[in-house]
Structure 1
Amino acid sequence: MDVPDIQPDFSAPFFGGFQVIASYILAAVILVVFVMLVIAAGALAFRGLAPERMRTWAGENIAWIFIAAAVLGGIGGLFQWFVNFDFGF
């Protein structure tokens, strides 16, 4: 039996739109987490910058914010590698 080579065709017109929407969402989330990380680090570094409750929140959550930033950065890197990441600017 002679089986021909079959190559998949991934050129569906809506995939480009999905990639753009996903890159906009990923870029927005990365920016929000980065701002949260800067605010938390600033609240911990400078006592007069934020009230006690804010410093308590920053102390409890800065590790989780840092982990979220690292994970989102990794996801952004994988997205760049696989589908040519576009920040949307």
Structure 2
Amino acid sequence: MFVIRSKKRDELQKYLLSNNIETLIHYPIPPHKQPAYNSWNEESFPITEEIHKQCLSMPISGVQNMDVSNDGSSATMATSRTRMQPSR
């Protein structure tokens, strides 16, 4: 996995998908809210919750070529960089 953080994660994910770049949110439920940690479910972990809302798993593969790709994944890094520029 190649995981990035973005304050505009959901917007970035939609933008990437519109450019044929699939991404994933590997853990849609914060760790302390998972059933396995039910004794912590009511606890508040603000930093964990903030990070959880920002993580996005990007496609990465040893066989991908960043210059040429039939499925559009070559645009991943360039497209991501464009969308992750700070707003002014």
Q: TM-score range by the shorter chain?
A: under 0.3
TM-score scaled by length of structure 1: 0.28
Higher strand share: 2
TM-score scaled by length of structure 2: 0.28
